[in-house]
Amino acid sequence: MSRPPIIAPSILASDFSKLGEEVRAIEAAGADWVHVDVMDGHFVPNITIGPDVVKALRPHSKLPFDVHLMIAPADPYLEAFRQAGADLISIHPEAGPHLNRSLKQIRKLGAKAGVVFNPSTLPETIEWMMDEVDHILVMSINPGFGGQSFMTSQLRKIERLRGMIEKERRPIELEVDGGVTPETARLCVDAGATALVAGTAVFRGGPAAYADNIRALRGG
C-alpha cells in the first residue's frame, strides 16, 4: 500500500465525561477520522449514543465522522445521523431487508456508504452491489463491546475483500475494527486494509500519549 493507513480512533474508548475534549485531542494528535460506535442494545448487547451526541460533537472537530450503526432497523435513523454530522455511515447487511436500497439512501443523503462484515458475514454479500459501496468495515471481533481480542480468522476475509475491490478498480476504503494494536495493525495492512479503527490502543495513557499511540498504529 502506497500510503499509511487511515487511523480512526473509536470514541467508545474515550472519557465520556469530556467527549468534546477527547475529540479535539485525537485530531491534534494526528487522527484521520473520528469513529463513532452506535449501539442499540438490540442488534448488539450494549447501548451507546445517538444522533444528539454526534450533533453535539460535530463543532469540536473538522475530521470526517465515521459512524458505525450497530442498530436494527437502521433505515429510520440514516437521515438523523447524516443531519447530525456523519460523513461516513456504515450499516450491517443483517440490519435490514434491503441492503442495496439502504446504501443508495445513505448516498442520497450526501454521506459515504459503508457495509460492515460481522465475523460470520460472507464477503459475497456485496458481490453484486460494489458500485454502491464507498467503504467496507471488517469486524475482527464480535460487535457490541470494546476491549476484545483480535480474531485472526478475519485476515482471510480482508484478503478476499481486497481482491474484490481490486477487481472493481474502485477507491473503496477497507477498514478493520476490533482488537487493533500496533502488532495486529501490521497484519491487517499486509492483508489489504487501508483504514484501522482503534479504541484502547489510541486512548490508553491519556491525551499526552495519543500522538505516539497513533504513530505506532501507522507503523512508525
Cα dihedral across residues 138, 140, 142, 148: positive or negative = negative
Q: SS3 of 38, please?
A: strand
Residue 22 falls inside a structural domain: yes
Which residues, in sequence order, are bridge partners of residue 69? 38, 91
CB 157 within 8 A of CB 193: no
Q: Residue 63, exposed/middle/buried by CB under 10 A (0-12, 13-18, 19+)?
A: middle
Residue 55 falls inside a structural domain: yes
**Binding site annotation covers 60?**
no
> Does the predicted model carry a pTM greater than 0.75?
yes
Which member of 32, 66, 134, 177 is catalytic?
A: 177
**Binding site annotation covers 145?**
yes
Residue 206 falls inside a structural domain: yes
**Binding site annotation covers 181?**
no
CB 34 within 8 A of CB 42: no
**Binding site annotation covers 146?**
yes
**Domains in the chain: how many in total?**
1
Q: SS3 of 61, please?
A: coil
Separation between Cα atoms, residue 43 and residue 39, nearest integer Å: 7
**Known active-site residue 40:** no
Which member of 32, 37, 75, 134 is catalytic?
A: 37
Which of 183, 202, 162, 156 lies closest to 7 in space, CA to CA? 202
**Binding site annotation covers 178?**
yes
Residue 1 falls inside a structural domain: no
Separation between Cα atoms, residue 85 and residue 186, nearest integer Å: 31
**Binding site annotation covers 15?**
no
Domain range enclosing 59:
6-217
Which of 148, 151, 160, 149 lies closest to 191 in space, CA to CA? 160
Residue 78 falls inside a structural domain: yes
**Known active-site residue 177:** yes
- Show pLDDT as tens, one digit a residue, over the chain (220 residues): 468 999 999 999 999 999 999 999 999 999 999 999 999 999 998 999 999 999 999 999 999 999 999 999 999 999 999 999 999 999 999 999 999 999 999 999 999 999 999 999 999 999 999 999 999 999 999 877 666 789 999 999 999 999 999 999 999 999 999 999 999 999 999 999 999 999 999 999 999 999 999 999 998 7
Residue 88 falls inside a structural domain: yes
**Binding site annotation covers 68?**
yes
Residue 191 falls inside a structural domain: yes
**Consecutive H or E run containing 207:** helix 207-217
CATH number at residue 10: 3.20.20.70
Q: SS3 of 119, please?
A: coil
In this prediction, residue 29 carries a pLDDT of: 98
